[in-house]
Each structure stands twice: as structure tokens, then as C-alpha cells.
Amino acid sequence: MRIVPLTEDLVPALRAFLARLTAAGRRETFNSTPNTPWPEGPLPPPYARQNYVVLQDDVVRGAYGLRYDHFQFGERVLALANYAMPLSEGIIDRRFALVGVLMLQDAMKREPLLYGIGGGGTGGSSPRLVLRLKWQAHDIPFYFRLLRGGSAAGEIRALRQHRRIGPALRLPGGAMLASLALQAAALRLPVFTRGAETRVIDSFGPEADELWDAARHGYALLNVRAASHLRLNFPAASRSLTRLLVSRNGRTLGFAVLKVGVLQEHFGALRVGTIVDLFGHVEEADVVAKLAVEHLRTAGAGILVTNQLHPAWRQAMVRNGFLPGPSQYPFFASPATVALLAPFDGVMARAHFTRGDGDGVRGEIS
């Protein structure tokens, strides 16, 4: 078997591979856009992607992508490649069980500076594989807040087994809600917005650039959130997303990217308000989070969920009545990336990752 870049003539074979997975009951998706040359520059364009396929003769047996994201690390801007959506025929036919290993080894040779996010947690097949090849994982904590829900709250299946939250979720409806309310009240502290205001925008513009320049120094590592990058990651065409600017006396404090919908598998009939992304001055995190919560409450959300890593935003979740839950959304770093981000544990202690990083905005909440 050999691994080659995806070209136009290989797209039909790739689609046939995806069709075989679907026929076997695995509904997987993959970006089937052929690779194109990039303009010359010191870094690949933000979110540029290169796809590769595993060929056995002329038959595709696997595929993966490398998507290049720009990160601010101190005063440097780095391009790290997201090892994206690896798919192997080994998930339906054990004759091809080694395809996953071959793809990861190939990716690490092509681009040593790799990372990944999610993958269903450290117990999934792809995460287990990268950990065996000396990658490191750092959990991105999950938080939730129940606003309303009645008996439907008992349908939060993903949280029932958590040692802290599970017992409350298994109580009868009214007692369960009371238990959750007491837990949240014990954590929640008053948050005063002090005249802060919100404005919904269709697309990120100059305010986002000004905020980025002023606030990025509060973080050790984060995905670049200048306006040009935000417009690519949260495009105006994504109508399900709400982009909320928070300001006070003409000064932008931060922004939130929000979404309201139903995730039947995890939350039953509850309307889920997702805080997809948050960014701003770390000292204003409580205020930005509070106004994001109020916007989602007004939009009819019954439960709020988010993943946040930076301590300022984690504290903001707690101060705004969120409870921790079991996360299935870790950050993975290849050995070369770990070495570059040294001291890795110290950097990750002040890094900023949310559900809007990686492929999270296009996936489900974990």
C-alpha cells in the first residue's frame, strides 16, 4: 500500500471508499476536495488543508487530512497541522487494521508539528493510537448549566455515569433539578456587568482585530483570533451561529460565538445552547460569559454546554453557575509539537482552547 496526495482522478475511488463504510453502517464524512498549490509565504494560509489517501492498487483503503491552523505562542505565530478525520477501512474489515497506523506514521513524516482535538476522548481508537506513538494529551474541560427542562433533564445520557453529576441526574425529576440547582448555587458568585452591552454581528471586523491586538497577551497559546481568521472559522454563511460582541463605553471586552439546537443523543428534547467560542480580556471573562448566558437564555435554551481550557474562562463558567462534566474533548500534541511548546505542561496551564477550535464547531459537544 502507498499513501499519496488526493488528486482529482482519485476522488471517485475516495467516494467509493466512503460508500463502503456507509454500506457497513458507518456514516463517516470526509472533505473530498483535491489538493491545490498554496501561494508562497512563510506559513501555509490559515485553515489550508491537504488530503491524502491510502491506495492498494487503485482502491482507496484510508484517508486523512492535514489542516494548518495558525497559533499565537508568545510573540510568534506558528502553523500547526491538525491531523483531521483519519478514516481506515480497518473499522469495517480487519484485513486493513494497520491502515490507521500507516496513516499516522505518514502524517508524522510529512508534518512533524501535528496536533488533534476531540476524537471522542482518550479512549477512542485514534486517540489510543497517537498516545502509543508518544503523543501527549491535555483535557479541555466540559461545563454545563441547566436552565430549564423538567423531566427531560433525565435524558442527559452522557453525564449519568459521572461520579459527581450522575447521582443528581438519576434522582426523580424535581429532586434532580433541586440537586443541580444547589450545586450550581454553591459555586455561583455575583457577576456585575458594570454597564457592558452586547451586539449581534453578521461577521467579524475591525473590533475583532483591535480586541485581538489588545487581549492576546493574556494567553500562553491560542488559535489566532484576528478578524480574517474568525471569518474563515465562523463564516457569515453559517447561519446557525450567533456572533456576540461585548463592549463597555466603546471598548470591546470580548466576543462569544453561540449556537442553539437539539442534540438528541446526549440531551433528549432539551434545546441546547452551546458556547462555541469565547475570547477577550481575561479580566473581563466573567462579564463576557454572563452576557453570553443571558443571550442563550433569551434564545430559549434549556441547557448550556461549553468546553473551556484557560483558567480565566473556566473560573468564569463556575462563577456563572456552570458545573463540570465528563469531557471527551482533549487536545493532543505530537512529540515535535510538545518539544516546540516547552515547557508543555506550563504552556497548557495558560492555553486557550474551546469547542470552536479543531473541528469542534462542525461536530457535536462532548
List the beta bridge partners of residue 223: 71
pTM: 0.87
Domains of the chain: 2-111 (3.40.630), 142-326 (3.40.630.30)
- What's the pLDDT score for residue 129? 87
DSSP 43: S
Q: Please report, for residues 62, 227, 305, the alpha-carbon distance to residue 136 in angstroms, rounded to integers and kept in the order given.
A: 24, 30, 25
Q: Helix, strand or coil for residue 178?
A: helix
Q: With contact defined as beta carbons under 8 Å apart, do 280 and 359 qualify? A: no
| Cis before 167 (ω within 30) | no
Largest CA distance in the chain: 66
Name residues whose C-beta falls within 8 Å of residue 175's C-beta, 6 or more positions apart in sequence: none
Give the model's pLDDT for residue 365. Answer: 39
Look at residue 124 in the predicted model and tell me its pLDDT: 66
Q: Sign of the C-alpha dihedral, residues 105, 107, 112, 114?
A: negative
- Amino acid type, 17: F
Q: 288: burial class by Cβ within 10 Å (0-12, 13-18, 19+)?
A: buried
All three cell numbers of 69: 491552523
pLDDT for res 338: 97
Question: Cell 491524502 belongs to which residue?
Answer: 52
Sheet holding 251-261, edge to edge: 197-201, 241-248, 251-261, 272-280, 303-307, 142-146, 323-325
42's grid cell: 512563510
What Rg value do the Cα atoms of the chain yield, rounded?
21
What pLDDT was estimated at residue 262? 78
Which residues fall within 8 angstroms of residue 202, CB to CB, at 6 or more apart?
Answer: 236, 243
Looking at residue 185, its pLDDT comes to 53
- The answer to whether 269 and 174 have CB atoms below 8 angstroms apart is no
Read off the C-alpha cell for 265: 443523543
User: How many residues does the structure list for the chain?
Assistant: 366
CA–CA distance, 212 with 225 (Å, rounded to integer): 6
- The Cα–Cα gap between 105 and 286 comes to 42
The tens place of each residue's pLDDT in the chain, 366 residues long, gives 999 999 999 999 999 999 999 999 998 889 889 999 988 889 999 999 999 999 999 999 999 999 999 999 999 999 999 998 899 999 999 999 999 999 999 999 999 999 999 876 666 677 788 888 999 999 999 999 988 655 444 555 555 655 545 655 665 555 555 556 555 655 556 677 888 999 999 999 999 999 999 999 999 999 999 999 999 999 998 889 999 999 999 999 999 999 998 775 666 677 889 999 999 999 999 999 999 999 999 999 988 999 999 999 999 999 999 998 888 889 999 999 999 999 999 999 999 999 999 765 543 433
By C-alpha distance, which of 243, 361, 253 is closest to 307? 361
Residues paired with 195 in a beta bridge: none
Within the chain, residue ranges assigned H as helices are 11-23, 99-110, 125-132, 166-169, 173-187, 206-215, 227-233, 264-267, 285-298, 311-319, 335-340, 344-348
Which residue bears the cell 494567553?
Answer: 219
